[in-house]
Structure formats: structure tokens, C-alpha cells
A and B are shown apart, each in its own frame.
Chain A
Amino acid sequence: MIVRRKRTRSQRGEPRRGPGRGRGWAAPLLGWLEEHPRAALASLGRLWRNPGSTLMTALVIAIALALPGALWILLTNTQAASEGWDSGAAISVYLEADLNEQAVAEVEQALAGIDGATLVRTISDDEALAEFREMAGFDAALAELTDNPLPYVVVVEPTATGAGATELGDLADRLAGVTGVDRAQVDLEWVQRLHALLALIERGILLLAALLGAGVLLIVGNTIRLDVLNRRSEIEVIKLIGGTDAFIQRPFLYGGFWYGLAGGIGACGLLILLTALLATPTAELAEAYGSGFRLQGLGAREAAFLLLGGGLLGLIGARLAVGRHLRAIEPA
């Protein structure tokens, strides 16, 4: 006779609740909450007890993180230093040739009447020629001239400081429209070139950072891989006792995180040291140019980014290495 019964949990091969049977759901949860700090501290203690190798790994990571960090600081400082340069940009207004002094004065007046334009100075044709004469090599060529072919040049600055490239362009167009003006040229090109260059460098730094970030992944991954292999017998025993993969890999993941975080802290230290060493020479250089520019060191945002990024890279590196190698270790 076949008696059909409802199958019990254990007959279906399902787990009894919790590890201790009937301990309710709260106890395992609290145990789990206790387990994470325990794993974190245990892996930290393990690193602490091997200061030599830990420091070496952290230092390698620190250098890998500090390199793009240093370039980034250099870039932001260059950007900051070049910020005021746009406003210093001037427009050279070339007057038509063969104007007499009277006509020049009229054009100057008309230019001064243009909204937003401030006349800085006027370079007469004679002055311009004299400047050319002073330059070596031109002497002989200029001696041949009977006439002065150079026009008057009026240097105009925008009244408003911090005018952008488009505003400068507009102003130049209006200046060029004045009768007696041949053309107006914005002396801005080199600033624009600088900005384009800085944008390129910024991209380059990001690429370099990505590359070195991948390097950090590999460093941490390899360190953790060796760690796993060194603790092979321990892993086997824990597996025999019923430790899950998650339990076994937890201290290794924390280990990777600590390596990355230590590297981030080291990178911050290196960058602070670097800016401290460069602060005085930079200030001296700026003073020589009559500028109040001061080197901007590591900001709080950059520091947070380095610490978090380091920790995250360490965690990911450990995760990539540990999963594969833990699976391969089985008790026999």
C-alpha cells in the first residue's frame, strides 16, 4: 500500500531555518551584522602583522594613484593661472595707410565712442618702424624704403573684464566697421590654443588614470591571489566545516579594500608632499611676474576621490581574483 504524505522540509532537502534550528530569523541576521566587522578587522590585523609586504603593495598602489593625481593638480593649476588671461586680451586696430594726424585723431575719437571699448595706446607709423629697426636683420631691408608702409595701430581693450572669445570677436567686428579702420585683430589665438591644449591634456590624464587604475586592479588581484594560495589549507578546513564561498571570500575582499584604501591614503600623502615642495618656488615665480598666483594643492574633493577610488579598485581587484581561485580549492 502506498501512503501519500506531505513531504517535510528536510525530506525535500530544504534547509532548516537558521543554523541552529529554531533560533528564529533575528539571530542569524545579528550574527551576520557581527560577522562583517569581524572579517574587516581580521583582514586588517593580518595586513598589520605583515607590515613589510603590506607597505610595499600600498606604496605601489599609492604611486599609481598619485601619478594621475599630480598631473591633475598641475592641470587645474594651469587652468587657474590662465583664467585671467582672457581678460587681458587686446584688439589691435589697424588704421588705413596714408592717414594724416588729423584723420587719425578723428578715427581715435570714433573708436573711443564705441560701446565697451577702451583705448590703451596708439602706435604711430614711425614708432612701428622704429620697433622694426631695432630688430636685427630688418635694418638693411628697411633702409631701401622711401616711404613708411606701416599703418597706425590703435590698441583697444574691452572695458568689461573677463570678456569671452565671442564678445571679443563682436567688439572687433564693430571696431572694424569704423571708417578709416583697415581691420581689427583679436590677439586671442594663443589663449584659445592654450585652452585646446589643456583640454587635450585633460583627456590624456583621464586615459592615463584609467590605465593606471587597471594597473591597481592587477596589483591588488595578484596580491590577493598569492594570499589565497598561501592560505590554501585554511580555506580547505573552513570549507570542510561548512563555510560558504561568501564567508570565505569576505576577509579577502576586505583585504583588497584595505590595500586600495592604504594606497589612496599614500597617494594623498605623496601629493601633499609634492605641492608643499613646489609651493615656494611657484610663489617666487608668480611674484617675479607680478602675479598673486598661489599653487592650489590637493582639494577635499580630490582627496575623497582618491580614497574612495583606491578602496573601490582594491575591492574590485580582490573580487576578480578571489572568485576564480576559491572555486579551485576544494578539500580532498
Chain B
Amino acid sequence: MIRFDHVSKRYPGQRDALCDVSMHLPAGELAFLTGHSGAGKSTLLKLIALIERVTRGTALIDNVNLATLRRQRIPWLRRQMGIVFQNHQLLYDRSVFDNVALPLVVAGYRSTELGRRVRAALKKVGLLERERAMPITLSGGEQQRVGIARAVVHRPKLLLADEPTGNLDPELSAEIMELFVQFHQVGTTVLVATHDIALLKRFRYPVIALAGGRVAHDDLAGESA
């Protein structure tokens, strides 16, 4: 699903944020991306989501080369994935329902199918009764779950999460992580960036560790074919 070959990323006027990163996340896997602050976790996710472009090397998502993808095709690629952001990135002038519906609206779903799917996603994250609420009236954990519902409502093949449990207590973190496991179990490829060691210990899934922009450890290294 995700394949990096000697990928480097340099922000203008800085040293490489990612340096010679090679890795492979097969379809249907759930893996953790970890590393110290500034190791390049967010940068790697941004490359996958095409928020940033690769400086050197090849990055393939589902065999699509990110380096040569035209600008107009970016929306199409982003619709294949769901992204959970640490800062939620919700629209605070719209209801929970409208926020979760956004990926479907963008993709041109009809309202009948849209309502069904949005409620299914909200039910999954346990927020069905809050669909009319405004995001600002929700707690941090609830907002994070709205973000997750929005990331999965269009049933993406690939789910990316950047510090999804960033400032939540351990109980809530585990609950959120439990959701990712459920999506993994129905066949979604999931990549979770986190520096929450306790979470890594509790959920024993493959870990890719970055340090200073390089791959320091890769549980999946042997498996890639």
C-alpha cells in the first residue's frame, strides 16, 4: 500500500527532515510510526497525504507515484485515504453531522446514501446522539472521535493518524486505538504516528521508528516483498 524508496524530504533552507527513508507498509496492515519529537513522523504522513512533496526518492501509494502525480489529481488521491489530525481540523461553524458528511459531500454522494453512511460512522465512534451538536461543545476526546468518523465515513483503503491520542488520558487513548484496530480488522490499512510508548506496549502491532529523519527500526523490514 505504502512504499518508500530512499525518500528524502528537505524543507526550504533546512537540513533533511527525512533522509533516505525506505519502508513498506503492505495493504491491510496496522503499524505504528514512532520517534522523538522532530524525528519526522508528521513529515512522513504529510508526504503520503501530498501535503508536502518528496524531495528525492520514490514514494508509491497503491502503485501511484507521488512525485509525478499532477496537482489536479491530488484530490482524487486524498479521497482514497482518511486522515486523523492531532488538532482535529474540524469546521467549527458546522454541526457534527455536517463535519462527518464532508468527505461524502466532496465526493458527490447523494443525500440519502450520505445520511446513512454518516450515521453509521457516528455510531461506530459512539457519537450518534450528538450529530446535531456543534463541535465546540464537545470535549477533546469527542472531537477526536468526530475527526475519526470523518476520516472513515467514505471507507478509505488507507487510514493515517497523526498523534490521534495526543493529549488524551490513557483510558481514552486506548478507546481511540481500539477503533483503529476495528478498522484494521475489516481490511483497512492503518498507519498511526505516536510517541506514546504505553500505547505501543499495550497494542502489539509492528513499529517503524524514526530518529533524526532516518529509519531507526522497522518491524516490517523483513516482510516486504
Contacts and interface: CB of A to CB of B under 8 A. Distances in A.
Nearest to A30: B110
A237 B83 CA distance: 11
B40 interface: no
B224 interface: no
Contacts of A243: 75, 106
A299 B76 CA distance: 49
Contacts of B108: 19, 28, 31-32, 34-35
A31 B101 CA distance: 13
A20 interface: yes
A100 interface: no
B182 interface: no
B79 A240 contact: no
B203 interface: no
Given A11-B63, A237-B89, A31 B75 contact: no
B103 interface: yes
Contacts of A242: 75-79, 103, 106-107
Interface residues of B, number: 33
Interface string A219-242: 000000000000000101111111
B136 interface: no
A241 B62 contact: no
Interface of A is mostly: helix
A20 B107 contact: yes
A320 B116 CA distance: 38
Given A19-B108, A240-B49, A240-B89, 20 more contacts: A10-B63, A10-B64, A13-B65, A13-B69, A19-B107, A19-B109, A27-B109, A31-B108, A32-B108, A34-B111, A35-B108, A237-B91, A237-B102, A238-B106, A240-B83, A241-B102, A241-B103, A243-B75, A244-B75, A244-B106
Nearest to B107: A19
A245 B72 CA distance: 8
Contact of A331 (B51, B64, B109, B154): B51
Q: Rank and list the top 4 A-B pairs by shortest CB-CB distance, nearest first.
A: A19-B107, A31-B108, A242-B79, A242-B78
B105 interface: yes
B150 interface: yes
